[in-house]
Amino acid sequence: MDFDLFVNILYATIRTGTPLLLVALGEMVCEKSGVLNLGQEGMMLMGAVTGFIVVNHFDIVALGFVSAAIVGMLMAILFAVIVLFLNANQVATGLALTIFGSGLSAFIGADYEGKIITSLDSLALPILSDIPVIGHILFNQDLVVYFSFAMFVGIYLFFKKSRGGLILRSIGENPDAANVIGLSVLKVRFLAICFGGAMAGIAGAYLSIAYTPLWTENMTSGRGWIALALVVFASWRAERIILGAYLFGFASIIHLVAQGLGFAISSNLLAILPYAATIVILIMLSANKNKLKLYEPVSLGKPWFKKH
Amino acid sequence: MHKIKRLELRGISKQYPGCLANDNIDLTIEPGEIHALLGENGAGKSTLMKIIYGVTQPNQGEVFFNEHPVNIKNPAQARDMGIGMVFQHFSLFESLTIVENIALALGKQGGDIKSLSERIRIVSSRYGMPLQPDRLVATLSTGERQRVEIVRCLVQDIELLILDEPTSVLTPQEVEALFSTLRHLSSEGCSILFISHKLHEVTALCDHATILRHGKVSGTCIPKQETSKSIATMMVGNETPISTNYNKVQGDEVFLCIDNLSTNAKHDFEVALKKISLNVKKGEILGIAGVAGNGQEELLMALSGEIRQKKSKNPSIYFDGQPVDSLNPFKRRRLGMGFVPEDRLGRGAVPTMTLSQNTLLTSFDFGLVKNGLIQVKKMKALANLIIEKYKVKAVGEFSHAESLSGGNLQKFIIGREMQQNPKLLLASHPTWGVDIGAQVAIHKALIQLRDQGGAILVVSEDLDELYQISDRLCAICDGELSPIKATNEVSLETVGCWMAGDFSVDSVNEKEIVHVAS
């Protein structure tokens, strides 16, 4: 394998991992507040179809991403109202959201299958992209990839350093205690769910606008689900989520390369690789139960309401 | 000179659906006063505190703070006014450090983490409760967690500190340290509202007491001029006999024998048992004292069969001479074991099942099942018998376990186990959170079983209870068992040292036993 191919594999790894990174970071924030939203796949698909249609009509890529974020957030608000204010079961509601999102997106997008749009261009960052090897891999990407870098750093610091992060963590651990010291549990959870929805919308739009600039039904092909697994196996830590996301990206690319090189393995079998590899490696990482307990939002998935 | 009243409540009433929790309550606290709020469970103490701390609002009545009428809408407002509260079930976040926990509660006025850490260090050492601000709460003992809660109140300017049953989780020595902190605070003018149902503590610490009963003020007094008995009468009324002294007995032959039982901790939150050996004889009650989380739960799980030991040449647990190490709970029950676990809802009873179904759970061997079919009539009859005999307040055998109050469910569970005439009864915190009336009933039932020749092992954090009912006493600390002594030969101080892990203390050298069961 020559060196250029290797660099290109890593370049593509980042691109492939980006949507997973975005949606997983969003879901992590949501879960840290104690809400499990299984609707990631549905919100991603709605983001993907919205972004594609908007770019197809108006030819403005930025507008596509913004509207995808808004639609993702609207889906999340629907979820939030049901689970936070009507105290419905989070698992059932999330599943329903996914089914709803994939059905609705297929319906809306039926006329757009096979159409073409202007995709998101890459944007070489001055100076940084001149760094040999790394410059090309990391800083010759498109804007959304840079946005995902920024989100990663921002969320990492948010949980490590900020008071807001402290509040979010405390609500995910013990909402009753948080309520007693005067934090508004439902408001924080609502905001966290909305953030998760926006991130899922953007992640979906990245697939339909930048990664493969076209719309097909169910094009997220389980990334929303893998993101959910990723958050758990990354034990709710941003630094492990980014690792897992790129691991997934790498394995996806390897399977394409392997197919191209003509290995005599069934392509269906190879297609499992990214999913299997990501989960196996993260399970190995999360084997330390004590550490896990420190990061796990204890009240994850439990409805909370004011009792008086 | 006219002294400004720190807190005054006038005619406070609070109606919950189906129950009047507070009925026209008046209460006055002066600056620097330590005021006790006494009452049984369900007397309305918690509701009243929640009103003062702004967690809930009264339907009627007025609250004055420093003689200004106030309407406290939420805890944040209460804290701004200078009211702090230490909850019975701590409102701490385990995965955060001490300073992070305190920063969360203080909001913006907490300042940055560094200067807050410094403030915590200063305040905590000034009041004799040293804390390291950067430690994780998960690694702290119960006593230390309580300090965090108190320090959290003290780093602000505080004028009224409310403590909800603060001593229930502490060793006697820790209680003494807490009291000196509270006296220090009161000497500086901070008023303290002290909620408890341990009467000797109230007489030792408090200047005034208000006693609640069925949501109303049933009396006020100066505790130092009263006896524990006279206060208790105000709490429970005249119907219930308050304190009974039971005779101590020797016991017969050994029924339960534990020989060098050791276990491994599977994770940091578990305690490993270290070479535990003890005997419980037929017809005696052995009490195990200790602060929660020192291996009590692990010991009981090993005895009940929830955790089984590996088969080995040297079995470590015997029932009546028969090794039971590898037997599951069901088989152990067939050998005559009864078990009253610590958590009633979950391990003691299934919350969503009716009382008669819950009876079936452990009593199915007693003629309730025939040819694999449930004998519904017999099952209901047994449940009704338990309800009647143990005075369980429930609508009927069809009531769901979760609909009962803690004390009533406990009476039911104890009754259920008792009805099987167990040869060995394991009881964990039998009267935890149970009011005095029910406490007496449960104690009497235990003594009765003892006198019929049952071997009883009681694990409790309540030393008064252990002194009252157990014939021999020991303590557990960090998975190790202290020496076992006859209850009337061991002083409270010795047990305190045992609970703190110092097993070298020998009570023979000490002065006369001073403890008086309240």
Copy the structure tokens of residue B140. Answer: 């702290």
In a domain, B243, yes or no: no
Does the beta-carbon distance from B76 to A182 stay under 8 Å? Answer: yes
**Predicted local distance difference test score (pLDDT) of residue B308:** 84
Facing residue for A181 by CB, picked from B16, B91, B96:
B91
pLDDT band per the 50, 70, 90 thresholds, residue B510: very low
Nearest one of B72, B55, B74, B75 to B63, comparing CA atoms = B72
Copy the structure tokens of residue B11. Answer: 């005619």
**Predicted local distance difference test score (pLDDT) of residue B2:** 59
**Predicted local distance difference test score (pLDDT) of residue A201:** 97
| Probe site for chain A from B53, B104, B153 (most A CB atoms < 10 A) | B104
Does the beta-carbon distance from A167 to B79 stay under 8 Å? Answer: no
Nearest one of A290, A298, A288, A297 to B267, comparing CA atoms = A290
Residues B85 and B158 occupy one common structural domain? yes
pLDDT band per the 50, 70, 90 thresholds, residue A292: low
Q: Does B95 touch chain A (CB under 8 A)?
A: yes
Distance from CA of A260 to the nearest CA of B (A): 48
Nearest one of B24, B76, B20 to B53, comparing CA atoms = B76
Tallying the residues shown for chain A, one arrives at 308
Cα–Cα distances (Å) from B261 to B299, B308, B314, B325, in that order, read: 9, 11, 10, 10
Residues B153 and B300 occupy one common structural domain? no
pLDDT tens for A75-88 read 999 999 999 999 89
Facing residue for A290 by CB, picked from B74, B90, B267:
B267
pLDDT tens for B138-159 read 888 777 888 888 888 888 888 9
| Probe site for chain B from A170, A184, A237, A300 (most B CB atoms < 10 A) | A170
Residue range B191-200: mean pLDDT, rounded:
82
Beta bridge partners of B205: none
Does the beta-carbon distance from A308 to B138 stay under 8 Å? Answer: no
Q: Does A173 touch chain B (CB under 8 A)?
A: yes
What is the number of other CB atoms lying within 10 angstroms of the CB of residue B502?
A: 12
**Predicted local distance difference test score (pLDDT) of residue B241:** 53
Q: Nearest residue on chain A to B56, judged by CA atoms?
A: A308
Does the beta-carbon distance from B93 to A177 stay under 8 Å? Answer: yes
Quick check: B125 and B153 in contact, CB under 8 A?
A: no
Distance from CA of A117 to the nearest CA of B (A): 48
Facing residue for A169 by CB, picked from B87, B96, B103:
B96
Element housing A56 (H / E): helix A40-58
Element housing A153 (H / E): helix A143-161
Does the beta-carbon distance from B107 to A308 stay under 8 Å? Answer: no
Residue range A19-27: mean pLDDT, rounded:
96
**Predicted local distance difference test score (pLDDT) of residue B237:** 67
Q: Does B67 touch chain A (CB under 8 A)?
A: no
Facing residue for A173 by CB, picked from B55, B94, B267:
B94
Distance from CA of B107 to the nearest CA of A (A): 9
In a domain, B266, yes or no: yes
Quick check: B110 and B103 in contact, CB under 8 A?
A: yes
Region of A102 (left: φ > 0; alpha: ψ -120 to 50; beta: rest) is: alpha
Query: Buried (b) or exposed (e) across A209-232, using 16+ Cβ within 10 A?
Result: bbbebbbbeebbeebbebbbbbbb
Question: Average pLDDT of chain A?
Answer: 89
Return all residues near A62 (Cβ < 8 A) that are at least 6 apart.
Answer: none
Does the beta-carbon distance from A170 to B104 stay under 8 Å? Answer: yes
Burial of A192 (0-12, 13-18, 19+ CB in 10 A): buried
Residues B327 and B292 occupy one common structural domain? yes
pLDDT band per the 50, 70, 90 thresholds, residue B517: very low
Does the beta-carbon distance from B75 to A177 stay under 8 Å? Answer: no
Nearest one of B366, B36, B408, B475 to B219, comparing CA atoms = B36
Residue range A200-222: mean pLDDT, rounded:
93
Residues B502 and B462 occupy one common structural domain? yes
Q: How do strand B60-65 and strand B68-70 relate by DSSP bridges?
A: antiparallel
CA dihedral of A108, A110, A111, A115, whole degrees rounded to 10: 110
Q: Over 90: is that where the pLDDT of A90 sits?
A: yes
Helix (H, G, I), strand (E, B) or coil at B22: strand
From CA B361, how far away is CA B420, in angstroms rounded? Answer: 12
Q: Does B94 touch chain A (CB under 8 A)?
A: yes
Given B178, B205, B236, which residue is the final one in a domain?
Answer: B236
Does the beta-carbon distance from A181 to B104 stay under 8 Å? Answer: yes
Distance from CA of A302 to the nearest CA of B (A): 17
pLDDT tens for B410-420 read 889 999 999 99
pLDDT band per the 50, 70, 90 thresholds, residue B18: low
Residue range B352-363: mean pLDDT, rounded:
90
pLDDT band per the 50, 70, 90 thresholds, residue B506: low
In a domain, B28, yes or no: yes
Domain parsing of chain A, residue ranges: 3-295
Distance from CA of A240 to the nearest CA of B (A): 19
Facing residue for A289 by CB, picked from B75, B94, B267:
B267
| Probe site for chain A from B52, B81, B95, B145 (most A CB atoms < 10 A) | B95
Does the beta-carbon distance from B91 to A174 stay under 8 Å? Answer: yes
pLDDT tens for B71-86 read 888 888 888 888 988 8
Residues B447 and B486 occupy one common structural domain? yes
Residues B223 and B342 occupy one common structural domain? no
Residue range B293-322: mean pLDDT, rounded:
87
Proportion of chain B above pLDDT 70, given as a percent:
92
- Give the single-character DSSP code of B502: -
Helix (H, G, I), strand (E, B) or coil at B99: helix
**Predicted local distance difference test score (pLDDT) of residue A1:** 56
Residues B18 and B130 occupy one common structural domain? yes
Residues B170 and B283 occupy one common structural domain? no
Angle at alpha carbon of residue A164, lines to A158 and A170, rounded to 5°? 105
**Predicted local distance difference test score (pLDDT) of residue B516:** 40
Element housing B63 (H / E): strand B60-65
pLDDT band per the 50, 70, 90 thresholds, residue B358: very high
**Predicted local distance difference test score (pLDDT) of residue A104:** 96
Copy the structure tokens of residue B220. Answer: 């006020």
Report chain A residues whose CB lies below 8 A from the CB of B50: 308
Q: Does A169 touch chain B (CB under 8 A)?
A: yes
Could you give phi then psi for residue B294, rounded to 5 degrees? -110, 15
Q: Over 60: is that where the pLDDT of B169 sits?
A: yes
Facing residue for B93 by CB, picked from A174, A182, A308:
A174
Report chain B residues whose CB lies below 8 A from the CB of A294: 95, 136, 138
The alpha carbon of B257 is separated from its chain's Cα centroid by a whole number of angstroms, namely 28
Q: Over 60: is that where the pLDDT of A298 sits?
A: yes
Residues B57 and B180 occupy one common structural domain? yes
**Predicted local distance difference test score (pLDDT) of residue B283:** 92
Residues B212 and B303 occupy one common structural domain? no
CATH code for the structural domain at A3-295: 1.10.3470
Q: Over 80: is that where the pLDDT of B197 sits?
A: no
Facing residue for B56 by CB, picked from A169, A178, A308:
A308
Nearest one of A226, A241, A236 to A279, comparing CA atoms = A226
Q: How do strand B276-281 and strand B83-86 relate by DSSP bridges?
A: unpaired
From CA A246, how far away is CA A12, in angstroms rounded? Answer: 10
Tallying the residues shown for chain B, one arrives at 518
What is the number of other CB atoms lying within 10 angstroms of the CB of residue A270?
A: 18
In a domain, B51, yes or no: yes
Question: When comparing pLDDT for A234 and B292, which is higher?
Answer: A234
In a domain, B31, yes or no: yes
Angle at alpha carbon of residue B248, lines to B242 and B254, rounded to 5°? 130
Distance from CA of B104 to the nearest CA of A (A): 7
Q: Which of residues 7-66 of B touch A (CB under 8 A)?
A: 16, 50, 55-56
Report chain A residues whose CB lies below 8 A from the CB of B269: 293
Question: Average pLDDT of chain B?
Answer: 84
Q: Does A292 touch chain B (CB under 8 A)?
A: no
Residue range A219-241: mean pLDDT, rounded:
90
pLDDT tens for B272-288 read 899 999 999 999 999 99
From CA B290, how far away is CA B501, in angstroms rounded? Answer: 9
Which residue, chain included where needed, has tokens 């330590």?
Answer: B34
pLDDT tens for B40-51 read 766 788 888 889
Facing residue for B75 by CB, picked from A176, A180, A308:
A180
Nearest one of A252, A17, A44, A30 to A148, comparing CA atoms = A17
Q: Nearest residue on chain A to B111, judged by CA atoms?
A: A163
Element housing B459 (H / E): strand B455-459
Question: When comparing pLDDT for A244 and A1, which is higher?
Answer: A244
ipTM score for this prediction: 0.73
Q: Nearest residue on chain B to A170, judged by CA atoms?
A: B93
In a domain, B393, yes or no: no
Q: Nearest residue on chain B to A288, judged by CA atoms?
A: B267
Cα–Cα distances (Å) from B90 to A173, A308, B121, B156, in that order, read: 13, 19, 21, 19
| Probe site for chain A from B14, B46, B55, B93 (most A CB atoms < 10 A) | B93
Q: Over 80: is that where the pLDDT of B505 sits?
A: no
Given B236, B262, B295, which residue is the final one in a domain?
Answer: B236
Nearest one of A55, A156, A49, A162 to A100, comparing CA atoms = A49
Q: Does A163 touch chain B (CB under 8 A)?
A: yes
Q: How do strand B337-340 and strand B284-289 relate by DSSP bridges?
A: unpaired
Residues B31 and B120 occupy one common structural domain? yes
Number of CB pairs, chain A paired with chain B, less than 8 A apart: 62
In a domain, B371, yes or no: no
Query: Buried (b) or exposed (e) across B296-320, using 16+ Cβ within 10 A?
Result: bbbbbbbbbbbebbeeeeebbbbbb
**Predicted local distance difference test score (pLDDT) of residue B1:** 47
Name the domain count of chain B.
Answer: 2
Beta bridge partners of B208: B35
Q: Over 80: is that where the pLDDT of B19 sits?
A: no
Quick check: A228 and A26 in contact, CB under 8 A?
A: no
**Predicted local distance difference test score (pLDDT) of residue A191:** 97
Q: Over 50: is that where the pLDDT of B512 sits?
A: no
Distance from CA of A228 to the nearest CA of B (A): 22
What's the domain range around B46? Answer: 7-236
pLDDT tens for B87-126 read 876 778 888 889 988 888 887 777 788 888 998 998 888 8
pLDDT band per the 50, 70, 90 thresholds, residue B511: very low
Q: Does A166 touch chain B (CB under 8 A)?
A: yes
**Predicted local distance difference test score (pLDDT) of residue B243:** 57
Q: Does B93 touch chain A (CB under 8 A)?
A: yes
Facing residue for B95 by CB, picked from A167, A173, A176:
A173
Facing residue for B105 by CB, picked from A181, A295, A308:
A181
Quick check: B262 and B274 in contact, CB under 8 A?
A: yes
From CA B149, how far away is CA A208, in angstroms rounded? Answer: 52
- DSSP calls for B361-392: HHHTTTTTEETTEE-HHHHHHHHHHHHHHTT-
CATH number of the domain within which B308 lies: 3.40.50.300
Q: Over 90: is that where the pLDDT of A101 sits?
A: yes
Q: Over 80: is that where the pLDDT of A227 sits?
A: yes
From CA B54, how far away is CA B75, in angstroms rounded? Answer: 5
Facing residue for B93 by CB, picked from A170, A290, A293:
A170
Nearest one of B234, B184, B183 to B204, comparing CA atoms = B183
Residues B269 and B168 occupy one common structural domain? no
pLDDT tens for A130-170 read 888 888 888 889 999 999 999 999 999 999 888 899 999 99
Distance from CA of A182 to the nearest CA of B (A): 5
Quick check: B39 and B211 in contact, CB under 8 A?
A: yes
Q: Over 70: is that where the pLDDT of A308 sits?
A: no
Q: Nearest residue on chain B to A180, judged by CA atoms?
A: B75
Query: Buried (b) or exposed (e) across A99-110, using 16+ Cβ within 10 A?
Result: ebbbeebbebbe
- Give the single-character DSSP code of A206: I
Distance from CA of B213 to the nearest CA of A (A): 22
